């Protein structure tokens, strides 16, 4: 079973680096795809749209389960 971890993102490179490190360690024993969906315009952040795009991407990648996650929330043990 494959897990899709969908993360909406914009202009927070330090958070993204820390999140990638943390999530890769946390999910090291699982089959997963980290799907970072970036908003590149200067309009107000549209989290819902980014999550929808991420979900469609997860379906194309044939993920069996999907998790919507925020970039500034790190998993704990």
Task: Write out the residue range of the structural domain in which residue 10 sits.
Answer: 3-68
Q: Within a domain: residue 77? A: no
Say if 8 falls within a structural domain. Answer: yes
Model confidence, pTM: 0.91
Residue 49: pLDDT band with limits 50, 70, 90:
very high
Confidence of residue 76 (pLDDT cuts 50, 70, 90): confident
Mean pLDDT of 55-73: 97
pLDDT of residue 10: 94
3-9 and 32-38 beta bridge pairing: parallel
Note whether residue 33 is domain-resident.
yes
Q: Does the pLDDT at position 77 exceed 90?
A: no
Between CA 2 and CA 73 the distance in angstroms is 22
In the chain, the number of structural domains is: 1
């Amino acid at each position: 079973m494959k897990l899709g971890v969908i993360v909406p993102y914009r202009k927070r490179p330090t958070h993204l680096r820390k999140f990638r490190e943390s999530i890769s360690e946390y999910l090291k024993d699982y089959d997963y795809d980290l799907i970072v969906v970036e908003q590149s315009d200067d309009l107000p952040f549209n989290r819902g749209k980014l999550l929808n795009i991420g979900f469609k991407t997860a379906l194309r990648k044939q993920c069996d389960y999907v998790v919507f996650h925020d970039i500034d929330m790190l998993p704990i043990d």
